[in-house]
């Protein structure tokens, strides 16, 4: 298998890959040295080192390097998506890169740490004038664009942090069980379950926390067990909702025993009325949650809201993430009419992939991360409820 570790300069990719390979958990894997290989190919082909080549010659060298990687068996390769240049960005990611790897991991680092490393790196002095906010913007651009690309080509894009003990444990679990853990296969399994349970050809997918109910049930779950919410905030910092974030979140609460009363949760009337309307139109209603499955199972047992619940389940290798939700809607939409509703960036690909309609719900306030996505995607198919307490800019109402 070929796994890419992407990230901006000085985010720690080489250090991380070295730790992976030295952990003893990835026998048979190698780390091709990207910079060395590019220079070797450049010297052989053009008689110059890579950085001295023209833009078109650099593209040719990158393409040849990607072809060489494709011939290898098991690798963790570092890569770059773009570089800041003259107030803009120079994208170096190619079609060959997209085709080469099975999964794209992205090592997200704190901008302040990156700035400090750049200051001490002779070869990266061209980035020395970047501020922490510049570095943050660079990282956000890479994450946003790589995430879109990977979703389109049906490959995982998973954002990692600098908690190496946790990331190595996650990657071991993911790579050892790739055929069941990759997001597209997870979603394909779940889609077949949904379609087999539905009697007709109409399926509605609803996010749960802050959509079906006003609250985030996970917050109350942590409070009921006397656990701090600070680690949760750190996990999802920057509104990142890939498979790693939810795996790490699930590790935090897997041993909790106290369950909060469901009486403290309040249904969003606008959403439950829409569910009733869709059910009358013949839709099979599915609750799709990345949250605490035991709480949602209880809520749905006590209230006839949905016909089926889809949730994370470690025994089947299921971790509901942004991509799993998106691929779920996509898979069902091949031969069913799909309506989808959610409130956050976790739901964006599910809403975009719904064949009938994807509707964003803004309960208490609009989310800046969602508005940023909508601003960057003027071609979006997502709509918003006319009755939303708060409205997003630049999208239609229904």
Same domain, residue pair 170 and 224: no
Residue-wise pLDDT for 187-222, tens only, equals 999 999 999 999 999 999 999 999 999 999 999 999
Containing H/E element for 149? helix 132-152
Are 203 and 307 within one domain? yes
DSSP characters over 115-139: HHHHHT-GGGGGGTT--HHHHHHHH
Residue 307, pLDDT score:
98
Statement: residue 123 has pLDDT above 80: yes
Residues 136 and 205 occupy one common structural domain: no
Mapping DSSP to helix (H, G, I), strand (E, B) and coil, where does residue 172 land? helix
Of 176, 197, 214, which residue constitutes the final position of a domain? 176
For residue 105, the 8-state DSSP code is E
Regarding whether 141 and 28 lie in a shared domain, the answer is yes
Domain membership of residue 365 (yes or no) is yes
**pLDDT digits 0-9 by tens, 266-297:** 999 999 999 999 999 999 999 999 999 999 99
Long-range contacts, 13-18 (Cβ 8 Å, 24+): 13/78, 13/107, 14/78, 16/107, 16/160, 16/164, 16/167, 17/76, 17/78
pLDDT at 364 over 90: no
Q: Is residue 234 part of a domain?
A: yes
Strand intervals (E) in 272-311: 284-289, 308-311
- On whether both 125 and 216 belong to a single domain, the answer is no
Res 43: pLDDT: 96
d(CA 246, CA 344): 15
For residue 84, what are the β-bridge partners? 89
Indicate if 195 and 236 belong to the same structural domain.
Answer: yes
Residues 171 and 319 in one domain: no
Integer Cα distance of 150 and 156 in angstroms: 6
Average pLDDT over every residue of 120-145: 97
Which residue blocks in 178-216 are alpha helix, DSSP H?
Answer: 178-181, 183-197
**Domain annotation covers residue 44:** no
Asked whether residue 42 is assigned to any structural domain, the reply reads no
- Shared domain for 105 and 253, answered yes or no, is no
Pairing of strands 88-91, 82-85: antiparallel
d(CA 381, CA 359) in angstroms, rounded, equals 9
The model's pLDDT over 32-49, given as tens digits with 9 standing for 90+, comes to 988 889 999 999 999 999
Domain boundaries, position 339: 182-384
Domain end (from 148, 176, 204) = 176
DSSP letter (8 states) at residue 358: E
Query: Do 108 and 139 fall within a single domain?
Result: yes
CATH number reported for the structural domain that contains residue 240 in this entry = 3.40.50.1000
Q: How far is CA 346 from the centre of its chain?
A: 8
Q: What is the count of structural domains for the chain?
A: 2
- Contact at 8 Å (CB) between 315 and 293? no
Q: Rounded to whole angstroms, how far apart are CA atoms 170 and 25?
A: 11
At 142, the pLDDT band (50, 70, 90 cuts) reads: very high
pLDDT (average), residues 114-132: 96
In a shared domain, residues 157 and 225: no
Same domain (yes/no): 271, 127: no
Q: How far is CA 134 from the centre of its chain?
A: 22
197 and 294 in a single domain? The answer is: yes
- Domain harbouring 8, CATH code: 3.40.50.300
Whole-angstrom distance, CA of residue 331 vs CA of residue 203: 12
């Amino acid at each position: 298998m070929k796994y890419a570790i992407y990230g901006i300069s000085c985010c720690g990719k080489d250090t991380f890959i070295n730790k992976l390979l030295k952990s003893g958990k990835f026998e048979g894997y190698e780390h091709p040295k990207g910079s060395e290989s590019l220079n070797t190919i450049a010297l052989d082909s053009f008689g110059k080192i890579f950085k001295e080549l023209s833009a078109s010659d650099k593209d040719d060298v990158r393409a040849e390097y990607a072809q060489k990687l494709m011939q290898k068996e098991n690798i963790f390769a570092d890569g770059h998506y773009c570089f800041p240049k003259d107030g803009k960005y120079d994208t170096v990611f190619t079609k060959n890169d997209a085709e080469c790897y099975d999964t794209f991991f992205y090592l997200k680092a704190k901008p302040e740490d990156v700035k400090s490393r750049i200051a001490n790196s002779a070869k990266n002095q061209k980035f020395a004038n970047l501020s922490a906010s510049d570095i943050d913007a660079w990282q956000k651009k890479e994450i946003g664009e790589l995430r879109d690309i990977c979703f389109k080509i049906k490959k995982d894009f998973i954002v990692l942090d600098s908690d190496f003990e946790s990331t190595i444990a996650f990657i071991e679990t993911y790579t050892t069980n790739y055929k069941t853990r990759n997001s597209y296969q997870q979603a394909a399994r779940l889609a077949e379950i949904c379609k087999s349970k539905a009697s007709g050809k109409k399926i509605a997918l609803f996010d749960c926390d802050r959509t079906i109910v006003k609250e985030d049930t996970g917050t109350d779950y942590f409070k009921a067990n006397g656990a701090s919410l600070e680690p949760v905030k750190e996990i999802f910092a920057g509104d990142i909702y890939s498979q790693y974030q939810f795996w790490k979140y699930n590790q935090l609460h897997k041993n909790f025993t106290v369950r909060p009363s469901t009486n403290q949760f309040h249904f969003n009337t606008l959403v439950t009325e829409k569910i009733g309307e869709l059910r009358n139109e013949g839709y099979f209603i599915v609750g799709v949650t990345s949250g605490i499955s035991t709480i949602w199972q209880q809520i749905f047992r006590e209230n006839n809201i949905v016909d089926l619940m889809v949730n994370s389940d470690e025994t089947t290798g299921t971790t509901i993430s942004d991509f799993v939700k998106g691929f779920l809607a996509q898979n069902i939409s091949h031969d069913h009419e799909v309506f989808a509703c959610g409130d956050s960036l976790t739901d964006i690909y599910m809403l975009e992939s719904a064949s009938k309609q994807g509707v964003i719900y803004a309960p208490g306030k609009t989310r800046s991360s969602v508005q940023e996505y909508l601003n960057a995607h003027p071609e979006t198919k997502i709509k918003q409820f006319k009755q939303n307490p708060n409205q997003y800019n630049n999208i239609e109402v229904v």
